[in-house]
Structure 1
C-alpha cells in the first residue's frame, strides 16, 4: 500500500527570532513567530507524514495550547511524529518540499536542509528534495512578512 501526504505551514516573520528551515538556522534579520521554534518546513513535513499515515496532524500531537511545547525544537517534534508513523509500519519513499519567502534565499542552504531532514528521519538524502521560491512580491509572503512551506511525501507499507 502507498499513500501520499500533504503538509502546509506558514509563519509570520518577526525580529528577534531565528530563521529555521528543516533544522538549519539561516542568517536573517527576522525569524518565524510560533509557539515552538517556528521551523515552517519541519512543521509542514510533520503534517505530511502524519496525514499520509492517517494519524492526525501536528496540532493534535503537539497542541500549541500546552505550555510544554513552548519553544520546542521542531526537528524533535518531527522525529517523534515519524516514530509514530514508523510504528504503524510505514516507510518513506520520497519527500518533496517548497519553501516560499522573499528573503533569505533558500538555495545556498538546500543541501544542508536536505541532509538535516534525512538524518532526523534516517533515510537517504536523495529521498528528500527541497526547493526555494519567492512570491514575486505578492501578499504577506511577497512583502517579506511571512514564510510558507508545502511538502508532499510518499509512504509505503
Structure 2
C-alpha cells in the first residue's frame, strides 16, 4: 500500500463580455471574462477538482454547488483554501501540482509566477511545487475560437505520517 495518490481536474468556462478575467487568482486585462457562478477561475477550479478527486471527495460542483447563493461571485482562491482544509483533515499534503490553461488569448506568461504563488499560498506549499503553463489550440475548437477557456490539472498528494 502506498501513501501517494493522484488526482486529475478539468474545468471549462465560456467567455463573456462584462466580467473580469481571473486566472489563478490574478485579474488579467482582457476584453472578456469567464462566465460562472463564482469568479469562474477555470485554472483554480481544475486544481480544486484534482485535489478533491485525489482524496475521493467528488468534485467542486458537489462541494460548492452553484445553487448556493453564498458562492455567488466568491473568489476561487477562498474555495481552494477550503479544499486545502479537506486535504489536511484527511491527513494529506500536496507533493506537487501541474496545471495547464487552454486558451487562444490573452498571453498569460507574464502572470504565471503570480498564479503559481497564489495557488501555493492557498495550499500551504512552496511555489516550486506548483507549475502553471498555457497552450493554445491553434484556433481550433471553442478555445481556439475565443469562445471559452479550459484547464487541466494533475496533483500528487501524500499521506502525512506523524
The TM-score normalised by the length of structure 2 is: 0.95
Which residue number in structure 2 is paired with residue 5 of structure 1?
A: 7
Task: Map residues 35-50 of structure 1 onto 2, 5 A cutoff.
Answer: 35-50=37-52
**Map of 1:102 onto structure 2:** 104
| 1:116 Cα deviation after fit | 1.1
Moved over 2 A (4+): none
**How many Å separate the matches in 2 of 1:118 and 1:105?**
22
1:102-140 C-alpha deviation (Å, 9 max, x unpaired): 111111111111111111111001000011100110011
The whole-number CA distance in structure 2 between the counterparts of 1:50 and 1:140 is 26
| Coordinate RMSD, CA, aligned | 0.7
SS at match of 1:144: coil
Does the 8 A contact of 1:55 with 1:85 survive in 2? Answer: no
Supply the distance in 1 between the matched residues of 2:69 and 2:35 (Cα, whole angstroms): 16
The residue aligned with 1:72 is 74
Structure 2 alignment gaps of length 5 or more? none
Q: Where do 5+ consecutive residues of structure 1 fail to align? A: none
- SS state at 1:68 partner: helix
Count of residues paired in the alignment: 157
Question: Partner of 1:81: helix, strand, or coil?
Answer: helix
Q: If the length of structure 1 is used for normalisation, what is the TM-score?
A: 0.98
